[in-house]
Chains A and B, each alone.
Chain A
Amino acid sequence: MVESSDRCTPVSVAIAGCGAVTRLYYAPALAALTAAGKIELKVAFDPDRTSAEALCSQFKAARVADTFSDCLNGPEVLIVASPPHFHAEQVTAALTAGLHVFCEKPLATNSSDADRMLTAAKQSKRMLGVGLIRRHLPAARMIRDLLAADVLGRPRRVHCFEGGPMSWPVHSPAYFSRSLSGGGVLQDVGTHVLDLLTWWFGPPLAVDYEDDSMGGVEANCRVVLDYSDFQAVVRLSRDWQQPNRWFIEGEKSWLAWNANDGRDLELGTCGGSLTLSAALKCNTSNPQRMRASHPVHDFNASFENQIASFINAVHGGTHAPVPGEVGLDVVRIIDRCYANRRLMHMPWLSDAEFSQALALSENLT
């Protein structure tokens, strides 16, 4: 899965934040890159030292940093996988110290912080990449290609439902605070969804937003993005399970995709009675690693690939594959959503309850 590289010396890497995303995704990806001789994890920092120690125990060259600043002396690249409200401070400090930075999504919890981060990248002439993993999923790339090739015709309707009861292993109730996470399901899953929409269709002309926050952070939301010819309706939930499915209808054909599925797509013609259920394959072979019909990356391999492509860019002195500007675009849309939010209609509430819900929703924490 890891692309070959001409550079012999591994890139030295530090990581800040050793929680769930690091344990579940970054650690295996970094281990594969280490085995491929692409990187060497030198240092890890987490306020919970035990988490940092657990990560470092998997990497021979890694040591635990006592403070965040300790991460900044020596490594060429810092991966920021801390909770979102730390991103601005840590990314800016690392760029200023001369490191390239790969920041887990969301880039920041508001666009002014994100602006500052991009300014720091420009001033330091260092690379700022953002972890928007879905751009590395083969199925998401294929959808982009199909849209660009006008296979569907002009889009008429886009709809997606994503979510389900939350199962991401968070540390404490504090996670569900606007000050720590920047928001709820919109800030979390919504970052991925809005990024795909802007990647596939460009920036929306207008955004309409409602959620169910009543003093806390939203568990459900609905976003309607206006494009010149169609609307994209996004429904996100941390509450109830439905098929996590995208549906894109064009004038000629339609396409359906199960979110986070790297490999499979469904295609059909409008008015047709048949569906093409397709598994993606690589049609260009890497002579070292794969046969011509090798299956495409699944989610975990795609995650590894996004780190590898950033490291390759550092190796080659080129540009971040998914640069900070892309992360800023998404943060700006989320800012617009929260700035114009309405309380969702919750039809099971009595009139008295809904009145109080309205009052509470004006007072977000």
Chain B
Amino acid sequence: MSHTIAVLGANGFIGGRTVEMMRLLGWAEPRPLVRRAEALAHVCRFALDARVADARDETALRAAFLGCQTVLHAVAGDRHTILGTLEPVYRAAHQAGVKRLIYLSTASVHGQDPAPGTDETSPLSDRQPIAYNNFKVRAEARLSALRRAGDVEIVILRPGIVHGPKSAWTAGLADELLAGQAYLVGGGRGICNSIYIDNLVHAIQLAARAPHIDGQAFLVSDAEQVTWCDLCRPIVEALGFRMADLPDPPVAAPHRPLLSRLRHTPELVAAYRRLPEPMRHALRAGYASYRLQRDKPEKKAHARNRLEASHERALLHQCGYRLPTTRAKERLGFEPIVTFPEAVRRSVAWLKFAGYPVVD
């Protein structure tokens, strides 16, 4: 009997590549789920049993999950999406007879610059300076509570910096470079706990099948230890820039205005890029209007030329610890399937495919 995996958030860059690899490598039958039908445009390159269901709609989810053995929760979004989709998804999975729910969490539950010695057994705090980390910590706790009252197994993956085609760290960096907004704090010498998208999908494949891993979380990353400089250089040079061109700007205060912090949150930036242009235009205009009213005249001239590193990026770029993947290796049999050099080669090739001005 084939293994059918419902992919919630199939239009996202992780969900989309998961569907693609499943379909092309044949290790499971994907059932893509999205909130709006138009979001199926990319996965419908394949003839698949694609469904439309809001991840908060328990009834719609139950119908969409029927016949699936596994559900992958790869829905990105804000606090309400992160925390508001857990119960409906878990309950629907339970009612539909799903065996296992794989939840895509993040290594950021340990902070952007985790203390040496951190691993999956380290205690998690939901009082971190980065709000996103706290939402994910609470999401993991909420799922554990749901598991205690339900039959569906939970497996949590904690990827670090997921890079590759369409990611915020590949396409987002390219966009920032072209907009003159890219930077590296401390020259990018910090450790980047990277994982190429295909390696993450490989971990998802293993997490769907491995026995005796119910309730466990797994840190996953690329095989190589790399720096932020290593991650950024291929993109920077592919677009005709030099690493020396990247500024090392001052770091914004941790308690910056909410809107300013939101503007530098990769997940929100990625969500913003998925919006239709008229909506993006309206948001830009609204934000510009807000800034115009808020800033004092003397601040405005300075602000026009100001580039600040977000608190989150500063922590990431100066990270001093490589998170271990020992547990994933031992219990999932996880070994990355794509090397880092091959990963960045594919990423650059994708940039060209996607219409970026890659220098030959």
Whether B353 contacts A347 by the Cβ 8 Å rule is yes
Whether B346 contacts A348 by the Cβ 8 Å rule is yes
Interface string of A204-232 (1 = CB under 8 A from B): 00000000111111111000000000000
Q: Complex Cα distance A296/B276, Å?
A: 25
Which of A71-79, A135-143, A235-243 touches B?
A235-243
Restricting to A134-156, which residues have a CB under 8 Å from any CB of B?
none
Restricting to B56-100, which residues have a CB under 8 Å from any CB of A?
none
Pick from B45, B198, B354: contact of A218, CB under 8 Å: B45
Whether A166 contacts B46 by the Cβ 8 Å rule is no
Whether A173 contacts B52 by the Cβ 8 Å rule is yes
Q: Number of contacting residues on A, CB 8 A?
A: 46
Q: Which residue of A lies closest to B345 (CB)?
A: A347
Q: Is A356 at the interface (CB under 8 A from chain B)? A: yes
Q: Which of A219, A235, A241 has the largest number of chain B CB atoms within 10 A? A: A241
Pick from A213, A216, A347, A352: contact of B346, CB under 8 Å: A347
Shortest CB–CB separation between residue A126 and chain B, in angstroms? 35
Contacts of B354 in A (CB 8 A): 237, 239-240, 242
Q: Complex Cα distance A310/B23, Å?
A: 47
Contacts of A240 in B (CB 8 A): 166, 171, 354-355
Given A161-B355, A164-B277, A242-B356, A176 contacting B44 (CB threshold 8 A) = yes
Q: Is B350 at the interface (CB under 8 A from chain A)? A: yes
Interface string of A170-196 (1 = CB under 8 A from B): 111101110000001100000000000
Shortest CB–CB separation between residue B232 and chain A, in angstroms? 19
Whether B46 contacts A173 by the Cβ 8 Å rule is no
Restricting to A37-62, which residues have a CB under 8 Å from any CB of B?
none
Q: Complex Cα distance A213/B108, Å?
A: 36
Whether A172 contacts B45 by the Cβ 8 Å rule is no
Q: Is A353 at the interface (CB under 8 A from chain B)? A: yes
Q: Complex Cα distance A113/B39, Å?
A: 30
Q: Which residue of B lies closest to A185 (CB)?
A: B41
Whether A216 contacts B26 by the Cβ 8 Å rule is no
Restricting to B34-57, which residues have a CB under 8 Å from any CB of A?
36-42, 44-48, 50-52
Q: Is A165 at the interface (CB under 8 A from chain B)? A: yes
Pick from B38, B48, B356: contact of A216, CB under 8 Å: B48
Q: Complex Cα distance A157/B24, Å?
A: 37
Given A173-B51, A215-B47, A242-B354, A166 contacting B24 (CB threshold 8 A) = no
Shortest CB–CB separation between residue B255 and chain A, in angstroms? 32
Pick from B26, B44, B46, B274: contact of A165, CB under 8 Å: B274
Pick from B23, B276, B347, B350: contact of A164, CB under 8 Å: B276
Whether A238 contacts B37 by the Cβ 8 Å rule is no
Given A165-B274, A216-B44, A360-B46, A172 contacting B52 (CB threshold 8 A) = yes
Contacts of B23 in A (CB 8 A): 214, 356, 360
Q: Complex Cα distance A173/B11, Å?
A: 13
Pick from A164, A172, A239: contact of B37, CB under 8 Å: A172
Pick from B50, B276, B350, B352: contact of A173, CB under 8 Å: B50
Whether B41 contacts A348 by the Cβ 8 Å rule is no
Shortest CB–CB separation between residue A10 and chain B, in angstroms? 32
Q: Complex Cα distance A169/B42, Å?
A: 15
Q: Which residue of A lies closest to B164 (CB)?
A: A348
Q: Is A167 at the interface (CB under 8 A from chain B)? A: yes
Q: Which residue of A lies closest to B343 (CB)?
A: A348
Q: Complex Cα distance A346/B11, Å?
A: 18
Q: Which residue of B lies closest to A349 (CB)?
A: B24
Q: Is A365 at the interface (CB under 8 A from chain B)? A: yes
Q: Is A27 at the interface (CB under 8 A from chain B)? A: no
Shortest CB–CB separation between residue A27 and chain B, in angstroms? 18
Q: Complex Cα distance A215/B356, Å?
A: 27
Q: Which residue of A lies closest to B355 (CB)?
A: A242
Restricting to B207-227, which residues have a CB under 8 Å from any CB of A?
none
Pick from A161, A216, A244, A348: contact of B350, CB under 8 Å: A348
Q: Which residue of B lies closest to A360 (CB)?
A: B46
Q: Is B269 at the interface (CB under 8 A from chain A)? A: no
Q: Complex Cα distance A4/B166, Å?
A: 50
Pick from B48, B50, B349: contact of A348, CB under 8 Å: B349
Q: Which residue of B lies closest to A357 (CB)?
A: B24
Q: Complex Cα distance A363/B232, Å?
A: 39
A-B contact pairs, 7 of them (CB 8 A): A165-B42, A216-B47, A237-B355, A240-B166, A242-B356, A349-B24, A352-B24
List the 3 shortest-distance A-B pairs measured between CB atoms, nearest first.
A347-B349, A176-B44, A167-B276
